Amino acid sequence: MEHELRTEFIEDYVAPYGQEVTHGKIALEEHYESPTWDATGDPENETARNKEDYFEAVKARLHSPEIRIKEMDRNGVEMFIMSLTQPGIQEVLDTDEAVKRAHEMNIWIYENYVQKYPTRFNAFAAVALQDPEAACKELEFCVKELGFVGALINGYTMKNDKNNIEYLDEKQNFPFWQKLVELNVPLYLHPRDPAPNQQRGYEGYEGLLGSAWGFGAETALHALRLLCSGLFDELPEAKLIMGHLGEGLPFGLPRVQHRLNNQKPCGAHKKPLTEYFEKNVYVTTSGHFNTQAFLNTLMECDASHVMFSSDTPYESLDEAALWFDNTPLSYADREQIGRQNAINLLGLDL
C-alpha cells in the first residue's frame, strides 16, 4: 500500500497537537524480547538503574506487536524493523546455548511479528558470534528463508567469561562480514554496557554506565576499531548502521582523524577514517531527538545515509515522531530520511 493512503493512521494524533506528520515512516531500531527468555540480562541491573514505572512499561511493549501497531498508526509509521534487545545473544557465555537462543529468537520474531503482520514488521537477525561459522549460517537462513534485512549485534561478544570479550573487527569475525556483503545486507551495531573490567570510571556514578553515556562511549570505540581495522578496504561494500546519531562520531571523528594524521599508523586502514564513515556508515535518529544535534549530523553525513528511528520501547514513539515530523527540513529531505533511505538500504518492497 502506498504511504499516501495511510493518513487515517494519524488523524487522532494530529488533531490535539496541531503539528505536521510525515506518513509512511520506517524505523530501524525497535526492540523486542520473547516472553520465554529475558534477553536484557540481569533484571536487577535494569530495575536498579531505571524508575520502576518506566521499566514496567518497557517490558509490556517488548512483547506485544499489537501495542506497537497502535503506536505506529497514530504516528504515521508504516514499518518497524525489529531487533532483539540488548545484550541479548552477545551475553550468552556458552557457545552452544548462544547458537540455539539466536535461532529461537529469530523464529519467535518471525512467527509473532513478521509473518503475522508482513506489511508492518521486518527484522534484523540475532546471531551468535561466539561461533562465527554458525552466525553465517543463521544470517543466511534469516535473510533467504525468513526475509530479514540484515543483522543487529549488541556490541562486543562475551565468550565463556564476562570479561573475555571479542570485537567485530577481530579476524575470526571477518567471514561474517563477508557473508553480510555476499547477502547485500547491513550490520546494525547496537550499544551495550562496557565490559565489567572496564567500568572503574563509572563507580559511584552507575547512572552513566548504560544508555545515558556508557552505551555511546563503548559503541563509538567499537566503531573506531572497525574504521581503523582495514575492514572497509578489504570489503568496500560492507555497510554498518549506528544509532543515536552515530554515537557522537559525526562530531568527534574529524578531531580523531586530525590527530591520526600526525601519528604513526593506527590499525591497517588505507584511507582516512572520515572517508569510510561517509561511504560505509549509516546513522539513525534512535533515542536522540535534539534538533541542533540532528542538523549538525546532516552537515557531517551524506543525507542518504541518515534514517529515522525511535528506539522503542525504551523511548517514546510519540516523542520521536512528533519531533522528527517538525524538524526544519524540506519535504523532500523529510521523506528521504523518514522513509526512502531505509527502503534503499534494506531493499524493502513497499
Q: Domain spans of the chain?
A: 25-346
pLDDT at 84 over 90: yes
The b/e string for 179-190 (b: 16+ C-beta within 10 A; e otherwise) is bbbebebbbbbb
pTM, two decimal places:
0.92
Residue-averaged pLDDT of the chain = 91
Write down the residue that cell numbers 551495531 correspond to.
189
Closest CA relative to residue 112, chosen from 58, 69, 57: 69
User: Lowest mean pLDDT: which of 39-43, 173-177, 341-345?
Assistant: 39-43
Is the pLDDT reported for residue 56 higher than 80?
no
Residues catalogued as catalytic: 311
CA angle 295, 151, 39 (to 5 degrees): 100
Where are the strands (E) in the chain, listed by range? 25-32, 77-84, 121-123, 151-154, 157-159, 161-166, 187-190, 240-242, 281-284, 306-307
Nearest partner of 315 among 283, 281, 285, judged by Cα: 285
Give, for 257, the enclosing helix (H) or strand (E): helix 249-260
Domain 25-346: give its CATH architecture: Alpha-Beta Barrel (3.20)
Average pLDDT over every residue of 317-331: 95
- Cα distances (angstroms) measured from residue 207 to each of 24, 39, 244: 36, 20, 18
Give tens-digit pLDDT for 132-168.
999 999 999 999 999 999 999 999 999 999 999 999 9
Is the pLDDT at 8 greater than 70? The verdict is no
CA-to-CA distance for 32 and 44, rounded, in angstroms? 19
The C-alpha cell of 238 is what? 560492507
- State the pLDDT confidence band at 104, using cuts at 50, 70 and 90: very high
Please write down the long-range contacts of 322-325, taking CB distance under 8 Å and 24 or more positions apart.
322/17, 322/19, 322/75, 323/289, 323/291, 324/22, 324/25, 324/285, 324/289, 325/19, 325/20, 325/21, 325/22, 325/76
Largest Cα separation within the chain, whole Å, is: 59
Report whether 283 contacts 245 (CB < 8 A). Answer: yes
CA distance 166 to 172: 9
Close Cβ partners of 33 (under 8 Å, ≥ 6 residues apart): 39, 40, 59, 62, 63, 84, 85
As a whole number of angstroms, the distance between CA 203 and CA 205 comes to 5
